[in-house]
Structure 1
Amino acid sequence: MKVIVLGGGVVGVTTAYYLARGGAQVTVVERQDGAALETSFANAGQVSPGYSTPWAAPGIPVKALKWMLQRHAPLAIRADGSLFQLRWMAQMLKNCTSARYAVNKERMTRVAEYSRDCLRQLRADTGIQYDQRTLGTLQVFRTPKQLQAVQSDIAVLRECEVPFRELRADELPEIEPALAHAPGLVGGLHLPGDETGDCHQFTQRLAELARGLGVQFRYGVDVQRLQTQGRTVTGVHIARHNGARDASHTGESELLSADRVVVALGCASHELLGTLGLDVPVYPVKGYSLTVPIVDEARAPRSTVMDETYKVAVTRLGNRIRVGGMAELAGHDLRLNPRRRETLELVTQGLFAGAGDVPAASFWTGLRPMTPDGTPILGRAPGWDNLLVNTGHGTLGWTMACGSGKLLADLTLGRQPDISTDGLSADRYGKNSGQRSMGGRQLPVHA
């Protein structure tokens, strides 16, 4: 079976790896000149199934209004001039109920827990190394109100049998000794099953393992259009873009044929699927990170600390600290906002003062592909016989990558997945995901 995977981030590469291991002949198409050079490049480094929580939650609309007035707010909204942004936010607001939150969190936790297990097995099978640690995630709280609010999450953790431990302020240094110096903390929630690691390293090394299984990587090429016949995608037209390192391609269109096509294009998935008449709500949510060189091991984190107040994660990656978080709804804007760096530095110095050379840190931004309910979109594209989707993981692409890749590979190859797929496909959006007749035309897509 020939399968084309569109997208060479962590989600696309894991999908390709599991497909090849299952016997498929796989080609990965990626617009960058290597794997994991966009959203997967410098994320927060968390593999955190225990912290798989929808952004759409009770109380978020009121909090969002308050955040508008705060300098170090975890959320910012700037109109991008599109109706899609307004519709996406309206869908998100509909999911900010207790009932929807519980449903969405269960779906996210189901995928994330499975994915963590898949990652562990992959590590055992291949010996892959990526600055990983298996010491868990510690969520820290600054107010009693935050401690009370986390009880709804704890109820879902119990239901899903996810191990956890609630901590008083004086118990936090048992998990993260350097927090003995951090002021203003009232307690925490430790999730010992979570892990950390460098997503970029992992993806690059897994791509090499996939290449050893026969996967072909077509880097530096753009998807021009999809070729369709009836309910089937028969091929993908690609062309090498200007400035690519491989001079053997002149920019002329090339048709890649396939038996199956998997869309793992992150934020570009909405546009591509739209050319087939599919309205799949995946919106780019901008995040930021700092990568800080460690100068004092004793003051540095051992694993990941999640600051609930600022929605910022501080993660140990070898001799570096990765500080990542925040969310901006501003379309495909990739400009670096210096105010976001101020927030990341504030959290770093507040929790781990003196641990790293903050002025020397590298500052980065990326776009997370997020659905309005938080759950990724996994499975067959509605109305199409051989088109599958693996996108919309939001802030949890690294956490959910291996499980999503394994699940999509099983579905693509006609095998029974290891976990339930209920509520994971685009079908859950009803008519919003339905197909509008496009007459089988070949339409351009800038992906």
Structure 2
Amino acid sequence: MIHPSNSDKTQLDALISRGMSHRQTKNNLAASYQEQRKSFLLKRLQLQAQILLVAGLTLIAFFLWANSSLEAKIYAFKIGAVVELFILLCWGLCKTPIGRRYPDLIFLSLSWAVTCVVQVDIALLFNDLEPRTSIWTLMFLTQATIIPVQWWMHLISQLGTIICYLTLYLLYNPVLKNPSAFYVEQGLYFFWTCIICVFSVYLYERLRKKEFQARTAMELAQQKSERLLLNILPEMIAEQLKQQPTTIADSFLEVTVLFADIVGFTELSTRTSPAELVELLNTIFCLFDQLAELHGVEKIKTIGDAYMAVAGLPNQSKNHASVIANMALGMQKAITTFNTENNQLFRIRIGVSTGPVVAGVIGLKKFAYDLWGDTVNTASRMESHGIAGSIQVCEATYQLLKDKYLFEKRGLIQVKGKGEMMTYILKEINFKP
């Protein structure tokens, strides 16, 4: 098996974590709806408390002005002060961990601070239990307008107000001041007000949930499209194409290009079913892709059973040759492990070259990031004129790596289209100081 170094393990863990985060995206987005609704509820509760405080002050001022007797003014001030104190307490709780954890209770407390507290105060002071439907209606309409979430909370607050009134009525058993038709009329108005408030909140929340689900689905689709695009093009190039869809061609003074070919794969295709052949090739190339991700190498393309990659672009780096060397050694180990686990005898032939290239995206359809230049041709020749199971590099690559890696000098070889070239076989990392 391959035993990566500590730095490789760290990078591999990060790669695995990124993969897991993609799988968890949908669950995280779905769960965030509840958090968004709770955050919205808390903000609107604070807003409603502020509005009720101001409205309460105007009502206190009105009753102080409307009542001529000092005793009536004192009673009006007492009732208003108690209600304002309860509202202020609810507002303060919204900013505490208790409020953030139990916003539903704050909602009910704020509602009953106006409806039930006023009933209790008036009952204790005046033994007057006439239904205050105007205050109740104003409160419930305010809540349905400002806090249109969790319809069942609105229903509970309304039922609580009615239960409070009926409880006080049974305890005090007052004499009714108005004919029964008056109370039936008030009850009908109040009933339909409650129904309309709850139903409107229900419809609003249902609409918001559908909008959230649609937005989530769109975000997931965008993320999926983004990941698909990044599987085809480097991130930097993808961003350039999205901003300005034109031909992209950049020159790089020095990069290192790798070509790899699986020896014996063509022969295997004559005695293996296409499905099995593709499965084997996919498994091998997935191992190479993982190594490319691990070492920060840019995969360019696959052609049949050949694999092409480059280091040093589109993000330029100084250690591009070492990165490719490490990947090439890792590919050899990966093939050895694959053969052991799948009872195969594959060998890989790798060619490496260093120098300038032009890289970019051309054409109008089926975009692909590709490389051009003599360095690419040399790397291809290093592979095609190489030795099965070996990593052959050109002189330029050797000069960059000779102090860090062990090489075997192959000598001058005749290269098609290039003439004689000095080549070297990369063996392993030089562990000696």
Determine which structure has the larger helix proportion and give its number: 2
Work out whether the TM-score is over 0.5.
no
Determine which structure has the larger strand proportion and give its number: 1
Q: Which has the larger radius of gyration?
A: 2
Task: Give the TM-score normalised by structure 2.
Answer: 0.19
Q: Which has the higher contact order (CA 8 A, sep 6+)?
A: 1
